[in-house]
Structure 1
Amino acid sequence: MTAPVRAPGRFTLQIPDSWIDYDLGNRDFTREQAALRSQAPTPAARAAVDDLFRQVRKLVRSARKQGAMSAAGLIARDETEGLLMAFVSVFGAAVPDGAELSLTDIAAQLSRPAGPEGYGDRTVGSAELPGIGVVARITGTEVVALTDTESAVMLAMHTIIPLPGEPGMFLVVTGVSPNLPLAEAMFDLFDAITGTFRFV
């Protein structure tokens, strides 16, 4: 079991200008939803926009409940995929004294592996972050809880970064997206954003 970590002011993470900084407050996204609805050409497309924003609100509430320190996301129209959604957040995780947890165990505290529906398994690997070095990374598809009763299968990338000088304490940069057919592009995007992570 991991414990929450608070590290305000300890890191920076650059997000694209087109993304929304969710600030994890009580933002309701009404303006963004109205702007995207105005671009939707049909009632079905407007309904899809409304459904997407319901998911966004649920994701933000879930991230806040799990102790996310920052979160930002992309909500946009795409000619081939229809609607694009991506979400990047930073969580704190601490291994309690005396506990021996693997990196996969730590990532499991944030989400659940996808089931046998053919969505794939998690892959544990590594990445090199400028100024930080080699860190652990877990990619794959996962079941992400939106509420206590609702969940969705999403692409997921967790990059687990040890806090310097604090054994057993980590920051986890997590990227998720429901656009499963765009796995390669989304993982490249999450990798690029995570690559901007810096300790202050």
Structure 2
Amino acid sequence: MQIEISANTRKLHGTGASRRMRTSGRLPGVVYGGDRTAQSIEMDHKDMYYKLKAEAFHASILSLNIDGDPVQVVLRDYQMHPFKQQILHIDFQRINQSKKMHVKLPLHFLNAESAPGVKLSGGIISHILTEVEISCLPKDLPEFITVDLLEMKVGGILHLSDLTLPSGVEILALAKGDDQAVVTLTTPRGGSADESDAEEGATSS
């Protein structure tokens, strides 16, 4: 199901106008890209605040309805207040169905507890990456990339090249020759440290 956002054209600009807008519960924003000029918009702050809490909102094609005119966009950026639960500004980018887009997708890790290195050896899994930047056509955009840890053993490392990608999706780092590590499984250090402390105590006594 596509996520829909209602917005209106923003007629007033400037710091003072934006401040008054936020005080009244509205959120200033902008939509740009495609073959059209950038457009200033405003929307309901409360609605957007809760939409931003959903992971899918950050990695999905959104339907932005501006004054009754729907346009497909992706979230590009947003600024939060330093200490208030308040969004200060939000940016959207129009998409072109025939052009590839660049989007950061979250990684979903599966079967961590069933991995031999964890289940049999008590190993610890470390997530080095939690998201990846991908390139694909809008029609091929997934909400996330799955990372299956079922076969991981102690000392194991999964790299970007080990991930199974949906059809039409390419990881930008790999395209540049950067096969980054995604997750590692190592022996816990606590046990070794405890054994060393016990040996030192026995020696001193």
TM-score by length of 1: 0.28
TM-score computed with the length of structure 2 as normaliser = 0.28
Which structure is larger by alpha-carbon Rg, 1 or 2?
Answer: 2
Identify which of structures 1 and 2 has the higher relative contact order when contacts are C-alpha pairs closer than 8 Å and 6+ apart: 1
